[in-house]
Amino acid sequence: MRLNAYLARAGIASRRKSDDLIKAGRVLVNGEPGQLNTFVEKTDRVEVDGREVAAQQLAIILLHKPVGHVTTASDPHGRRTVVDIVPSNPRVVPVGRLDVDTTGALLLTNDGALAHTLAHPKYGVEKTYVAEVDGELTNEVLKQLRTGIELDDGPTAPAKARLLGRNRIELTIHEGRNHQVKRMLEAVGLPVRRLHRSGYAGLTLEGLEPGQWRKLEPFEVRRLRRERSPE
């Protein structure tokens, strides 16, 4: 495991901040200063500022994010974060983001490699949303969404769209642009009032109320790794 990933798994810092610790000479591996390209084996001793650290057990958690929590590990403004809801040991961080007023399926993990692949556009992770909009949905709107919407950063890929009511729609996308669903619906004249992510990477929120979480089952973890492994 690369040294910065090891430090992240140990809950010391993010991989980027771990790089800064390594560059500053604050990390020793078997008594020698670690380098950015240092790989850590199970038998190696790693110290940060003279204190031995160890990588934590891998954890992948599915959270039903409630309204009012920001999707980050910490917030400079003192707002409640999704990390406040889940256990603090081992330390996990959110995969991607949901707006503070958006609810639904959110993964948190300390597996940096898996988090990276889940967030990478190359792997086309499916995300399903239920949106309540201002205005009435029509067949023409569904057709536009299924074809793709022109946004200021380029056209979207075709979405799966299903009408749930006069002002409720289910959308499944596989891109990861900021505020994409809200922007798509606003572009067709239907501002979003409420947004809920009902599914992520084949996982649903069955049995989880807002604010509740569960660890993924081993077969779910295997499926995520198998489907997202590089070719």
- 137 pLDDT more than 90: yes
User: Is it the case that residue 205 has pLDDT exceeding 80?
Assistant: yes
- In three-state secondary structure terms, 2 is strand
Burial 168-204 (b: 16+ CB within 10 A, else e): ebbbebeebeeebbbbbbbebebebeebbbbbbbeee
Rounded to the nearest 5°, which phi and psi values hold at 229?
Answer: -70, 140
Distance of alpha carbon 92 from alpha carbon 110, whole angstroms: 5
With 90 as the cut, is the pLDDT of residue 13 above it? Answer: no
Would you state the CATH architecture of domain 126-200? 2-Layer Sandwich (3.30)
Out of 99, 101, 134, 152, pick the active-site residue.
Answer: 99
Give the pLDDT confidence score for residue 123 in this predicted structure: 81
Q: What is the residue whose two structure tokens read 């969404």? A: 145
**Would you identify the CATH topology of the domain 60-121+203-228?**
Alpha-Beta Plaits (3.30.70)
CATH class of the domain comprising 3-53? alpha beta
Cis peptide before 76 (omega within 30 of 0): no
Asked whether 8 and 18 are in contact (CB, 8 A), the reply is yes
Q: How confident is the model at residue 57 (pLDDT cuts 50, 70, 90)?
A: confident
Q: Where are the domains of the chain?
A: 3-53, 60-121+203-228, 126-200
Q: What are phi and psi of 228, to 5 degrees?
A: -105, 5
Q: What are the CA-CA distances from residue 67 to residues 53, 63, 143, 172, 197 (Å)?
A: 35, 12, 30, 21, 12
101 is catalytic: no
Q: Do domains 3-53 and 126-200 have the same CATH topology?
A: no
